[in-house]
Homo-oligomer: A and B are copies of this chain.
Amino acid sequence: MNFDYPHNALNGSVVAQKIVSAVASTIGNIPAALHEPSFSGNEWEYIKSCLDSTFVSSVGKFVDRFESDLASYTGAKYAVAVVNGTAALHIALLLAGVQRDEEVLMPSLTFVATANAVRYCGAEPHFIDCEMATLGLAPEPLREHLNTIAEIRSDACFNRQTGRRIRAIIPMHTFGHPVKMDELLRVAKDFKLTLIEDAAESLGSYYYGRHTGTIGLVGTLSFNGNKTITTGGGGAILTNDEALAKKAKHLTTTAKIQHPWSYEHDEVGYNYRLPNLNAALGCAQLEQLPAFLENKRKLYGRYKDSFTDIPGVHIVDEPAGCKSNFWLQTLQLDIGDLAFRNSILEATIAAGYMCRPIWTPMHKLKPYINCSRASLPVTDLLELQLINLPSSASLVKNT
């Protein structure tokens, strides 16, 4: 990294103008959202068919088809469609057996839903550092931290400092870039932890040829309006385990036992089923995913070219051995300085380009400030270095 680059706010504004110009040369002189969907396929036809059938709600052919199409696309044996990615995370944690007053390891650098879902189970997040190579959970610091604070008793992992059982670990594939799954799975195995993949951002991303979300015990997807494909609101649970898939469907449909008329529910369930109306949109969107991914990769290449000659910044690449969906294009600043970062955000937003910093790390948020955590130096640095650029697949058409 080029630490010689001056980084006060004044120079920040000079750099910011170069960045605005580079964005303009990549996507044109138009206002641009951070990520907006494109409906140029069979969306209208499928939704009309859904309305005509009157099956718009929790039963209908598009839900079944969307689940089947998702399984087929990702290579997961089973996919269960749910109302959003947060619901998918909540159910995934329950499938992993997470219980009240247990702990779940996760990156501090994630969207708040990952931590919230742990709290929905009555459990506590426990934050681990990220690494530069993937922007995701760092296997070696995780192992070192567990060596320090964890002990194995009766084939289960306990936090010696809090006395609580550590049940699971949830890596998240940041902006679509896969984390080092093999290394993380080894840590999980060594410490008797269940690995759940938060693949909310990485539909279409592959880790050494395997689709993200299909490598851990359970994976979760999101189809929120800002994602690579959207169902309005929606998500899915992926797994290769038939019993877990059945359990996921049961828990997401109020735990009702099938019967011609009787209303029996055998455990506390959830109303998390994706409506057929939203699944209809998802079926049409999924058909266009290969084209979206191709355009997003092109956009990455164009951003990369545009930013080559600006010193002190670079466009984040896909990790070694991986194919990223490039959900959000990411500019990384060599230095971590809040005023410098903010001056760039202000300039790009003022120019009509919707840019965003990465999330405030979980360990700095009020509801999670007292949670257990490892040392988080890379997280703290990345928070100041990362800026997402307009990333819609449709932007490649404008140049």
Contacts and interface: CB of A to CB of B under 8 A. Distances in A.
A47 B54 contact: no
Interface stretch (A36-44, A65-73, A240-248): A36-44
Nearest to A235: B271
Nearest to A223: B57
Contacts of A119: 268
Given A51-B44, A116-B254, A232 B268 contact: no
A267 B116 CA distance: 9
Interface in A111-135: 111-113, 116, 119-120, 122
The interface size bin for chain A is 35 or more
B359 A263 contact: yes
Nearest to A267: B367
Contacts of A256: 112
A356 interface: yes
Contacts of A349: 260-261
Contacts of A100: 122
B54 A85 contact: no
A113 B273 CA distance: 14
List the number of copies, as a whole number.
Answer: 2
A362 to B, nearest CB: 9
A169 interface: no
A212 interface: no
Given A43-B51, A225-B58, A275 B345 contact: no
A261 B274 CA distance: 29
Given A54-B37, A355-B261, A356-B261, A233 B47 contact: no
A312 interface: no
Interface in A261-286: 261-271, 273-278, 281
A277 B269 CA distance: 26
Contacts of A255: 112, 367
A59 interface: yes
A59 to B, nearest CB: 7
A56 interface: yes
Interface string A87-103: 10000000000001000
Given A360-B263, A367-B266, A275 B233 contact: yes
